[in-house]
Chains A and B, each alone.
Chain A
Amino acid sequence: MALLEVEDVLVRFGGVTAVNRASFTAESGRITGLIGPNGAGKTTCFNVITGLQKPTQGRVRYRDRDITRWPVHRRAGHGIGRTFQRLEAFGSLSVRDNVRVAREIHGGPLAWIRPAGRWGGRSLLEVEVLLDRVGISDYADERADSIPTGAARLLELARALACDPKLLLLDEPSSGLDETETDSFGALLSDLADEGAAILMVEHDMDLVMGVCDEIHVLDFGEIIASGAPADIRADSSVQRAYLGYSPDDADDAHGAASDHTSEMEAVIP
């Protein structure tokens, strides 16, 4: 049984169908990629899984329980963590306090009124360890609305990790990171998966997706058009069509044109 099962989810905004009967899974210890062109419905899927958006139809199952009607905070309490594409860091708190407040929320109301002291000290140490792990210790004392986008995304990751998630949803986590940062970020994701977390990631950086994902689902116009290992996805003609508008398989015309297409496509899907 997969940790997360999205079954037949349909989301309609007025006349627009954002997600059309999508079904996919994410498993513990594995990194699952969710890719697709802009507007394909990836973030809407995340909102459905975390409870920010009610699906018009379909179900979300998590650890063998139907959580479709659960409120946002209850899902979070059961180990679903996420980051946002449009950042949702707590702008007027320092970076350190962003992570600290996440731990405090996770600790529940009793932790809020407990005096600092020993518990507080240990909790603070854990916060420092988390900041160090995602690599933003340098920003710890700065206000979260004053740090670069890349760092803010890592902050959201640290914040989500502070709640010990079993399922981690990352919405375009690498945008704003440079190449070296992306590499160490990929290594961090692999570590997290090795520790047993299920990671579901929306990402446009194909190098990263193809490099770290164990499985990939491709969304286009709200529909899952392909699922499989990175190598299969790269070779899938419908995926190529979705990204490029055509597939080399369609190109029966001039041979030269087809090889042009292939090189062009490799630029997008390496």
Chain B
Amino acid sequence: MSSLFAFTLLGLFTGAAYAIMASGLVLTYATTRVFNLAHGAFGMVLAFTFWDFSQRQGLPTLLSLFLVLGVVAPAIGFFIQRVVTRGLGEGPVSVALVVTVGLLVLLIGAAQYIWPPEPRVLLPFYAETGWQLGDTYITAHQLITIVCSIVVALGLYLLLNRTRIGTAMRASVDNPELLRFFGGKPDTAAALAWAIGMSLAALAGILLTPVVGLDYYALTLLVINAYAAAMLGRLKSLPLTFVGAMGLGILESLAVAYLPTDGFWSTIRPVIPAIFLFVLVVAMPQTQLRIGQVKGIIAAPVPKLGKSLGAGGVLLAAAFVLIGIVSRSDVLLIGVAATYAMVMLSLVLLTGYGGHVSLAQFTFAGVGALAYAKLDQPNLLGLVLAAAIAAGVGALVALPVLRLTGLYLALSTLAFAVLMDKVIFQADFAFKFNGTLATERLSVFGIQIASDTAYVWFMVLAFVAMGLFLLWLRRGALGRILIATRDSPSGCGTLGLDLRWFRVGLFSLSAGMAGVAGALFAGLRGTVGAADFLYFQSLLVLLCAVIFGVTSVTGALFGGTALMLLRSAPPELAAVSFVVLGIGAVLLARDPNGIANYLFTLGRRVSGKLLPRWEEQLRERLDGLLKPGRPQPARSVDTAFDTAFDAGADTGADTGADRKITVPEGVS
């Protein structure tokens, strides 16, 4: 029993650090309604900053600590709130999520750029000091951690309950407009919350570094621990968050103590926060539909069928030519681009049309690849089965969360992605640890698509087919219902739509599409392993999709190509590419139509204004050449600009607006 006590005590120390991190997360979320997915990443960067001050530049520890917690962290928090996240809380959840994912990727890139990978050690505070308590040894660092958490708890309690600004912070949760009306300053409250939140992230990061190591990704992922702890208090209650954090710390400690040290169970430890999270989510009571309209957003135009078919044909022809002239390695890269583009198509359905964010889309591709490799049925049946398995897994992820709102769904997908990445994909029944599985290329009706060129062209064909399917869906009843659920969930509910199952179906269909992409990717590679489907890939896919336009097939095409180019850049540029992607997402996330939509607008302007003028000039010249008086044949000038995949539909109201039917007079 004494070892149980010892491990519980050890768990309390880690739990105390989690509590500090989680309370910062809750403070920023509760005050500004922006869930900072980059909370752990900020902690990571600030822990590196502390290392830089105290180790590299040799400043005294206390001074470094003061500089990081008291100057750098609050300044960053203030800056981020003022420049990046201001006003995000009032918009759709998906935008705030994409912006903070952008920050996360940006910070990882920046950290790798400023502090290139090399072994770094951040020693615990007073590393030599400790006390023997029974059969447990307590270090000074652990004691400091627990004291810090108590100070943070007390400080936050006093701030929120005993000061004017604290009251304003609590009030701005409910209604910032009303607060402003009564002379409060919601902006000041928001900036203060972010400044304090950032300091807490830094403190937790520094305290946890001796435990998890000075690692870009491990510290970033602490956001899942913090989120799991905060879930107990529904992202609102600080006392419950502390309880959650302690519980999680103890659970982890006991897992180390009592789970077997080899085999499958030994890999469970790093994902205990994710499991803890799923258990909490399943136990959460149902949220009710909220009334209060989200303003309709301007979506990218939906092209008519003829136009989509034409553009698809043009793309296939272009791909055929391109595949014929580039080198073999570049042909494979086109296949990779097609994979990314197909995964982004699944995001067009889920995020662009449906308004839900998934941070695990590439993991679903991984499930598809794994299923395809394991089934060993390199034909269309195997492809369909792989997609069905990915869709089933997608439904399993969405099911426990289907009673909750979009934010919880998105955050749970991140936990799921990490779980798959760290445990399932590396398990013996899957790709095995550091292992790969061999896959054969697809046969269609008995004919194997063996050559690289044919296979890559087939992948482009699959992209086009998927894009056409998506647009067909969007034009039909399902597409209208998707838009309706995004505009007003309560409206849909009171018309008889079961939103929960609709959402599961949508999520599952999207996961299935990603699964197809993954299965085709497995065939392209010949061997696939867990390393191909790291959770981080999903974040990059999401960012690229949003930057290039997550509401259109064209956006997915461009996004897929861009991500392939970024990922195939030399390794020393990887950090820079993260920074570029992150900045792009932060700048462009507010308009999910992305770069593709600018192109549509440009295309319409050209065909609407410039072309008629050119045509006129051309006609005048022709008139001068030809005999006067002879009538000119009418020419369609628009065709040249139909090549953009889905540009060109009507700008005005949505689908079906062009399908007018006349009602005979007198019908009433």
Residues of A bordering B, CB below 8 Å: 47, 50-54, 71-74, 76-77, 80-82, 84, 86-94, 96-98, 100-102, 104-107, 111-113, 116, 121, 124-125, 128-129, 132-133, 137, 141-145, 159-160, 162-163
> Once the chains bind, are B654 and A129 in contact (CB under 8 Å)?
no
> Once the chains bind, are B481 and A104 in contact (CB under 8 Å)?
yes
> Once the chains bind, are A52 and B289 in contact (CB under 8 Å)?
yes
Residues 232-250 of B at the A interface (beta carbon under 8 Å): none
Complex Cα gap A116–B661 (Å): 14
The winner among B296, B298, B493, B494 for most chain A CB atoms within 10 A is: B494
> Once the chains bind, are B490 and A52 in contact (CB under 8 Å)?
yes
Q: Which residues of B contact A53 (CB under 8 A)?
A: 288
Complex Cα gap A141–B653 (Å): 6
Given A86-B292, A102-B495, A159-B495, check contact A94 B484 (CB 8 Å).
Answer: no
> Once the chains bind, are A105 and B654 in contact (CB under 8 Å)?
no
Residues 626-662 of B at the A interface (beta carbon under 8 Å): 652-657, 659-661
> Once the chains bind, are B296 and A93 in contact (CB under 8 Å)?
yes
> Once the chains bind, are B484 and A93 in contact (CB under 8 Å)?
yes
Complex Cα gap A96–B657 (Å): 8
> Closest CB-CB distance, A111 to chain B, in whole Å?
7
> Once the chains bind, are A90 and B288 in contact (CB under 8 Å)?
no
Residues 487-543 of B at the A interface (beta carbon under 8 Å): 487-488, 490-499
> Once the chains bind, are B654 and A94 in contact (CB under 8 Å)?
yes
Chain B residue with the shortest CB-CB distance to A102: B495
Q: Which residues of A contact B481 (CB under 8 A)?
A: 101, 104-105, 112
> Once the chains bind, are B493 and A76 in contact (CB under 8 Å)?
yes
> Once the chains bind, are A112 and B477 in contact (CB under 8 Å)?
yes
Q: Which residues of B contact A54 (CB under 8 A)?
A: 288
> Once the chains bind, are A90 and B291 in contact (CB under 8 Å)?
no
> Once the chains bind, are B293 and A97 in contact (CB under 8 Å)?
no
> Closest CB-CB distance, A88 to chain B, in whole Å?
4
Judged by a CB distance under 8 angstroms, whether B478 is at the interface is yes
> Once the chains bind, are A129 and B296 in contact (CB under 8 Å)?
no
List 8 other contacts, CB 8 Å, given A82-B494, A84-B291, A96-B656. A50-B494, A73-B497, A86-B292, A88-B293, A90-B487, A132-B663, A132-B668, A141-B653
Judged by a CB distance under 8 angstroms, whether B476 is at the interface is yes
Chain A residue with the shortest CB-CB distance to B492: A105
> Once the chains bind, are A94 and B299 in contact (CB under 8 Å)?
no
Chain A interface SS verdict (over half): helix
> Once the chains bind, are A105 and B291 in contact (CB under 8 Å)?
no
Number of interface residues of B (CB under 8 A): 43
Q: Which residues of B contact A102 (CB under 8 A)?
A: 495
> Once the chains bind, are A111 and B477 in contact (CB under 8 Å)?
yes
Residues of B bordering A, CB below 8 Å: 288-289, 291-299, 476-478, 480-481, 483-484, 486-488, 490-499, 652-657, 659-661, 663, 667-668
> Once the chains bind, are A97 and B656 in contact (CB under 8 Å)?
yes
> Once the chains bind, are B495 and A76 in contact (CB under 8 Å)?
yes
> Once the chains bind, are A105 and B495 in contact (CB under 8 Å)?
yes
> Once the chains bind, are A113 and B484 in contact (CB under 8 Å)?
no
> Once the chains bind, are A92 and B299 in contact (CB under 8 Å)?
yes
Complex Cα gap A74–B497 (Å): 8
Using a Cβ cutoff of 8 Å, how many contacts connect chains A and B?
Answer: 154
> Once the chains bind, are B656 and A88 in contact (CB under 8 Å)?
no
Q: Which residues of A contact B653 (CB under 8 A)?
A: 93-94, 97, 141-143
> Once the chains bind, are A52 and B291 in contact (CB under 8 Å)?
yes
Complex Cα gap A261–B422 (Å): 77
Complex Cα gap A94–B653 (Å): 5
Chain A residue with the shortest CB-CB distance to B659: A124
> Once the chains bind, are A86 and B654 in contact (CB under 8 Å)?
no
> Once the chains bind, are B496 and A87 in contact (CB under 8 Å)?
no
> Once the chains bind, are B291 and A86 in contact (CB under 8 Å)?
yes
Which 9 A-B residue pairings sit nearest by Cβ, starting from the closest? Answer: A91-B296, A92-B296, A94-B653, A76-B496, A88-B491, A72-B493, A104-B477, A90-B487, A88-B488
Q: Which residues of A contact B491 (CB under 8 A)?
A: 84, 88-90, 159
CB within 8 A of A73: which of B498, B655, B660, B667?
A: B498
> Closest CB-CB distance, B629 to chain A, in whole Å?
42
> Closest CB-CB distance, B512 to chain A, in whole Å?
15
Complex Cα gap A113–B505 (Å): 14
Q: Which residues of A contact B654 (CB under 8 A)?
A: 92-94, 97, 143
Complex Cα gap A96–B658 (Å): 11
The winner among A90, A104, A121, A141 for most chain B CB atoms within 10 A is: A90
Chain A residue with the shortest CB-CB distance to B295: A91
Q: Which residues of A contact B652 (CB under 8 A)?
A: 141, 143
> Closest CB-CB distance, B481 to chain A, in whole Å?
6
Q: Which residues of A contact B487 (CB under 8 A)?
A: 89-93
> Closest CB-CB distance, A104 to chain B, in whole Å?
4
> Once the chains bind, are B291 and A92 in contact (CB under 8 Å)?
no
> Closest CB-CB distance, A102 to chain B, in whole Å?
5
Complex Cα gap A44–B390 (Å): 42
Q: Offer 5 A-B interface pairs, CB within 8 angstroms, sorted by A.
A: A72-B494, A73-B498, A91-B297, A91-B487, A91-B488
> Once the chains bind, are B495 and A144 in contact (CB under 8 Å)?
no
Q: Which residues of A contact B478 (CB under 8 A)?
A: 112-113
Complex Cα gap A82–B488 (Å): 14
CB within 8 A of A100: which of B293, B486, B490, B656?
A: B656
Q: Which residues of B contact A77 (CB under 8 A)?
A: 496
> Closest CB-CB distance, A212 to chain B, in whole Å?
19
> Closest CB-CB distance, B352 to chain A, in whole Å?
12
Q: Which residues of A contact B667 (CB under 8 A)?
A: 128-129, 132
Chain A residue with the shortest CB-CB distance to B667: A129
Q: Which residues of B contact A163 (CB under 8 A)?
A: 495-496
> Once the chains bind, are A100 and B480 in contact (CB under 8 Å)?
yes
> Once the chains bind, are A92 and B289 in contact (CB under 8 Å)?
no
> Closest CB-CB distance, A129 to chain B, in whole Å?
6
Complex Cα gap A28–B411 (Å): 47
Given A50-B494, A101-B481, A101-B484, check contact A90 B296 (CB 8 Å).
Answer: yes
Q: Which residues of A contact B657 (CB under 8 A)?
A: 94, 96-97, 141
> Once the chains bind, are B498 and A101 in contact (CB under 8 Å)?
no
Complex Cα gap A47–B291 (Å): 10
Complex Cα gap A266–B484 (Å): 43
Chain A residue with the shortest CB-CB distance to B661: A124
Chain B residue with the shortest CB-CB distance to A113: B478
Complex Cα gap A73–B493 (Å): 5
Complex Cα gap A66–B146 (Å): 53
Given A71-B498, A101-B477, check contact A88 B661 (CB 8 Å).
Answer: no
Q: Which residues of A contact B288 (CB under 8 A)?
A: 52-54
Complex Cα gap A197–B335 (Å): 59
Complex Cα gap A121–B657 (Å): 14
Chain B residue with the shortest CB-CB distance to A120: B477
> Closest CB-CB distance, A91 to chain B, in whole Å?
2
Chain B residue with the shortest CB-CB distance to A78: B496
Q: Which residues of A contact B490 (CB under 8 A)?
A: 52, 72, 84, 88
Q: Which residues of B contact A145 (CB under 8 A)?
A: 295-296
The winner among A74, A94, A132 for most chain B CB atoms within 10 A is: A94
> Closest CB-CB distance, A178 to chain B, in whole Å?
21
> Closest CB-CB distance, A184 to chain B, in whole Å?
12
> Closest CB-CB distance, A238 to chain B, in whole Å?
30
Complex Cα gap A133–B480 (Å): 23
Complex Cα gap A87–B289 (Å): 15
> Once the chains bind, are B663 and A73 in contact (CB under 8 Å)?
no
Q: Which residues of A contact B484 (CB under 8 A)?
A: 90, 93, 98, 101, 105
Q: Which residues of A contact B299 (CB under 8 A)?
A: 92
> Once the chains bind, are A101 and B480 in contact (CB under 8 Å)?
yes
> Closest CB-CB distance, B498 to chain A, in whole Å?
4
Q: Which residues of B contact A86 (CB under 8 A)?
A: 291-293
Q: Which residues of B contact A111 (CB under 8 A)?
A: 477
Given A93-B296, A129-B667, A142-B653, check contact A105 B661 (CB 8 Å).
Answer: no
Complex Cα gap A130–B533 (Å): 51
Given A76-B494, A91-B487, check contact A133 B499 (CB 8 Å).
Answer: no
Complex Cα gap A116–B480 (Å): 14
CB within 8 A of A92: which of B297, B494, B656, B668?
A: B297
Complex Cα gap A71–B299 (Å): 31
> Closest CB-CB distance, A176 to chain B, in whole Å?
15
